[in-house]
Structure 1
């Protein structure tokens, strides 16, 4: 009975892994926005350089509707002060990818937040 449970358990794990990895491998790439929540932030150089020569950032970010969330991520280089970033996040892994964007590319709700903060 014990062997049967072990075999069934391993079979379920193998099927789950197959579905997870081979069903849609494109979703696993960090820069693919599919299945990720996109947040927008402006870089403030309150970063901390870690022991492995990376820069840690902890910034207030906003989704396209303007909801605020504090996100932490790291970068291999110091980011430009005042740069606008698009952050791709997942529930379990946090920020998986970021890219610099122009102010004009921000959603309307996020533009309004940064316009109000500038005044």
Structure 2
């Protein structure tokens, strides 16, 4: 009986730790390369009609992004709102060109080589 309770206790602790990890870890940003870009134009608006009849609006962008080493690549991504012009974004990129997430950052937080390309 003691072994059974010990195993149940261990499984409970592992389950709680797993739930905590699922709520606190952003898997879209794990193992992603970081690129930086500046929003220089409005996004292209797209309207998608959902099955329930409502309309979802998204905005697509095609911009050049630079990593910390100063290497530049073209990136295509979408956002659920029209992003603020002149905003600097930190892009999380997987598989060379798939944007999985992004954050707005201050220019000072961008690595120096990337800053030089963005000026």
TM-score tier after normalising by the smaller chain length:
0.5 to 0.7
My pick for the range that moved more, 40-49 or 99-108, is: 40-49
For residue 46 of structure 2, the aligned residue among 30, 45, 50 is 50
SS in 2 for 1:73: strand
1:70 is matched with 74
With normalisation by structure 1, the TM-score equals 0.67
How far residue 46 of structure 1 moved from its aligned partner, in angstroms, is 4.2
1:80-116 deviation line (CA, Å, top 9, x unaligned): 000000000110770000010000000000111223x
Structure 2: how far apart are the matches of 1:61 and 1:93? 10
For residue 83 of structure 1, the aligned residue among 71, 87, 97 is 87
Contact 2:62–2:75 at 8 Å: present in 1 too?
yes
Structure with greater strand share of residues: 2
List, as ranges, runs of 4+ consecutive aligned residues in structure 1 with deviation greater than 3 Å.
25-28
How far residue 51 of structure 1 moved from its aligned partner, in angstroms, is 1.8
Unaligned runs of 5+ in 2: 1-21, 49-56
SS in 2 for 1:41: strand
What's the Cα RMSD here? 2.1
Alignment CA distance shift 1:59-1:92 (3 Å): closer
Structure number, greater radius of gyration = 2
How far residue 27 of structure 1 moved from its aligned partner, in angstroms, is 8.1
Unaligned runs of 5+ in 1: 1-24
> Relative contact order (alpha carbons < 8 A, sep ≥ 6): 1 or 2 greater?
2
Structure with greater helix share of residues: 1
